[in-house]
Structure 1
Amino acid sequence: MTEPTSIEFIPGHPLSYATTRIGIFCNDIEISRASGFTAKFGPDFYLVTNWHVASGRNPITNKLSSQLAAIPDKIKFHVTVITEERVDDDRKSTTLYFKPLEFDLYKNETPTWLEMISGDHRIDVALFPLNSAVEELQQGGTRLAFIEAGEVTLKRGLTLEDSSTPFPGEGVSYFYPQVGSEVFVLGYPKGIELAGIFPIWKRASIASEPQATITSGGYVYEDLLYIDALTKGGMSGSPVIAIAKEGELYVTDDGVAVSMVDGTAHLVGVYAGREGVTNEELEFSIGRVWKTATIGSIVMHKKHAVVL
């Protein structure tokens, strides 16, 4: 494994540090490239990407994606480790470096990622727990660059006083920008990366009502929304981010409006890329985004994948 790469300054947007180019390997041969990001849910960090990236299978048909029928056995990516130490009462010293990681995709024939099936379809999202894999996290004042995946608000009619459901339980909802809102897809089209590590920010817009169900390929989805985006291969697993304007209203699935603060970066969901979509969706450059709520559902269920 290569040594961590240090940098002496912190340019650009903080979310660029939370993304990673992913390499998928079979017998030490790279068979595909994709995108992913570090998400934080409660106290825990996770690498987030698509299920079809980790499994190498189409999430609808379950067929192997590789033309050579290669079954992935290893994933490689990086995280950004940030350590803060107080110099004096007024100053902090911040150290930041990129730490390469690699995980076996199976242990005793059991997948090492977390996933979930919802109703009659598979959620095309895979989570890899990071807390135990990054030893630096055991040190005080150390964290990973991350995108928050646990931003919620109380459901309609509930208050903090009368909600006895522990966070994040049945009493909370996720909220999303309204249709037509501008979003960005942060990923690595065709494996491109800036300065050897940073993602491309592809501009897109929300193309469906986030609160509406989507019918596609004979399935009805409550956990998907569409974006209008001309993306390329390699962007599967990218975070979809909205940068809020002052006073902009985001809305929950049950109709609760949340007023945003100017410049707030909000995770909309996980882009599903060009795999596992219908021909119609591909033809119209309509991209599937698995809502942020799917990350919370997988964390709470903590179900491991089953190879079918």
Structure 2
Amino acid sequence: MIPANSERLGTPAEGITVGSDAFVLGFPVRMYGGEYLPLWKRASVASEPQADVDGLPKTLIDTATRRGMSGSPVFGQVSGLIFPEGVKQTDPDWFGKTYFGLGNRLIGVYSGAYGREPFEAQLGVVWKESAIQQTIRGGKLGTSSFKLESRVPDATAPQSYFDWDDWPFPDPLFD
């Protein structure tokens, strides 16, 4: 058992709880929302944001995501009194800078799913914001997927760009 206020649990995105609405912004099966903007796939937070899944800084969301969504940002939706970035309750005029309504907070980055079939769990894996920050602070650069041997195009074929599934992106995106 772990107490709810244990430092071992870390700090979740403020206001995000299990069951909160979440959104995965991406390009499922190469679709986009006009003007090459991402689609917002609805999800709900499926695991306790304060607890790590499998001992790693990740959480689970309940959503039917599809190929092409890996690397997508995941935002949790909060409602109530919204404090814009940089505004603190200790500021003398904090009330004039806040508003009641909906806001979105970054939960992390989507990386894949457990089960894609209709009768499987369809739980998405989200690496928490803390994992992203830790990776950036580590300062180690990986190898671009465009430089991996499996991504080297045939020299006689026209050059094109691919997502993680080797599906070509729409050409106008790179015009």
**TM-score of the superposed pair, with normalisation by structure 2:** 0.58
Per the alignment, do residues 180 and 212 of structure 1 end up closer, same or farther by CA in structure 2, a change over 3 Å counting?
A: same
- Structure 1 gaps of 5+ residues are 1-155, 157-171, 215-219, 249-259
Measure how far apart 1:299 and its partner are. 1.7
C-alpha contact 1:212 1:222 (8 A) present in aligned 2: no
Per the alignment, do residues 245 and 209 of structure 1 end up closer, same or farther by CA in structure 2, a change over 3 Å counting?
A: same
After superposing on structure 2, the runs of 4+ consecutive aligned residues of structure 1 that deviate more than 4 Å are 277-280
Per the alignment, do residues 244 and 279 of structure 1 end up closer, same or farther by CA in structure 2, a change over 3 Å counting?
A: closer
Deviations 1:48-73 (A, max 9, x none): xxxxxxxxxxxxxxxxxxxxxxxxxx
- Residue 132 of structure 2 corresponds to 295
Amino acid at match of 1:286: L
Following the alignment from structure 1 to structure 2, what is the Cα–Cα distance between the partners of residues 209 and 293? 15
**TM-score of the superposed pair, with normalisation by structure 1:** 0.34
C-alpha contact 1:242 1:265 (8 A) present in aligned 2: yes
- Residue 227 of structure 1 corresponds to 61
- Residue 41 of structure 2 corresponds to 202
Following the alignment from structure 1 to structure 2, what is the Cα–Cα distance between the partners of residues 233 and 279? 10
- Name whichever structure is richer in helix by fraction: 2
Secondary structure at the aligned position of 2:137 is classed as helix
- Residue 13 of structure 2 corresponds to 175
Percent identity over the alignment is: 36
- Superposition CA RMSD, Å: 3.0
Amino acid at match of 2:52: T
- Residue 7 of structure 1 corresponds to none
Correspondences of 1:73-84 after superposition (within 5 Å) = none
Amino acid at match of 2:73: P
C-alpha contact 1:185 1:202 (8 A) present in aligned 2: yes
Following the alignment from structure 2 to structure 1, what is the Cα–Cα distance between the partners of residues 133 and 58? 14
Following the alignment from structure 1 to structure 2, what is the Cα–Cα distance between the partners of residues 242 and 213? 17
> How many residue pairs are counted as aligned between the two chains?
118
Following the alignment from structure 1 to structure 2, what is the Cα–Cα distance between the partners of residues 174 and 212? 9
Measure how far apart 1:304 and its partner are. 2.2
Per the alignment, do residues 213 and 195 of structure 1 end up closer, same or farther by CA in structure 2, a change over 3 Å counting?
A: closer
Deviations 1:76-109 (A, max 9, x none): xxxxxxxxxxxxxxxxxxxxxxxxxxxxxxxxxx
C-alpha contact 2:13 2:105 (8 A) present in aligned 1: no
- Name whichever structure is richer in strand by fraction: 1
Deviations 1:243-281 (A, max 9, x none): 220148xxxxxxxxxxx963222101101134xx5799x
